[in-house]
């Protein structure tokens, strides 16, 4: 029974970290300096044992998207916005999977490496999907190779914010998790 309580407390603590990170999206911040990559990588790594672990960070992302799109940026939408960008959600899922399957040893160097890889993956996916929206007449970029390159070039100024945000929030999330569990000498996953 003691082990079950400990696991539940660890699970609730990790959930609290993800929710707190998601809520920082509502604070003023530089472009793309957000906790999205950190939330996805952290959840994919720490919630290894539960099949539903993908739902936790996605729910936090979705709730924060609802607040942002309808309260903060509501004047830019004609109707109630239920979801953010498809590219954000697909990129988020890719970073979650990176944490789930690629971050097998949780060490500072590995977290930094996965932060950098996650930022690059998010950049490629989110901008690639913006370009693909041209199939529906929703993109200003032509569906050509040069249109794709123009779309990626337009995203470059935002990449620095993504990279800095991912490194910062992964440091905070994984660092807090380690600090709380430091006496156990091994990383805990729940």
- Between CA 120 and CA 140 the distance in angstroms is 22
Q: Name the pLDDT band for 1 (thresholds 50, 70, 90).
A: low
pLDDT in tens, 47-77: 876 667 778 888 999 999 898 888 888 787 7
Q: Where are the alpha helices (DSSP H) in the chain?
A: 2-23, 36-46, 55-67, 86-101, 108-132, 145-181
In a domain, 166, yes or no: yes
In a domain, 102, yes or no: yes
pLDDT in tens, 149-180: 999 999 999 999 999 999 999 999 999 998 88
Positive/negative CA dihedral, 45, 49, 53, 57:
negative
In a domain, 189, yes or no: no
Identify the domain containing residue 78 by its residue range. 2-184
Q: Number of structural domains, the chain?
A: 1
Q: Is the pTM of the predicted complex or chain greater than 0.85?
A: yes
In a domain, 190, yes or no: no
User: In the block, which residue shows the tokens 């805990």?
Assistant: 188
pLDDT value for 34: 94
pLDDT value for 105: 81
- Between CA 109 and CA 9 the distance in angstroms is 27
77 touches 44 (CB < 8 A) = no
In a domain, 104, yes or no: yes
- Between CA 190 and CA 176 the distance in angstroms is 15
In a domain, 12, yes or no: yes
């Amino acid at each position: 029974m003691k082990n079950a309580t400990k696991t539940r407390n660890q699970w609730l603590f990790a959930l609290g970290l993800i929710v707190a990170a998601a809520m920082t999206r509502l604070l003023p911040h530089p472009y793309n300096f957000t906790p999205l990559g950190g939330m996805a990588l952290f959840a994919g790594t720490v919630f290894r044992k539960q099949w539903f672990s993908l739902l936790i960070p996605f729910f936090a992302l979705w709730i924060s998207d609802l607040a942002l799109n309808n309260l903060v940026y509501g004047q830019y939408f004609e109707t109630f916005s239920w979801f953010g960008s498809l590219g954000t959600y697909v990129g988020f899922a890719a970073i979650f999977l990176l944490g789930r399957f690629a971050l097998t040893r949780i060490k500072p160097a590995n977290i930094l490496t996965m932060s950098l890889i996650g930022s690059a993956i998010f950049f490629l996916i989110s901008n690639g999907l913006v370009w693909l929206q041209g199939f529906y007449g929703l993109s200003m970029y032509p569906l050509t190779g040069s249109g794709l390159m123009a779309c990626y070039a337009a995203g470059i100024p935002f990449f620095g914010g993504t990279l800095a945000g991912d490194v910062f929030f992964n440091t905070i999330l994984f660092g807090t998790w380690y600090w709380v569990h430091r006496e156990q000498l091994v990383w805990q996953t729940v």
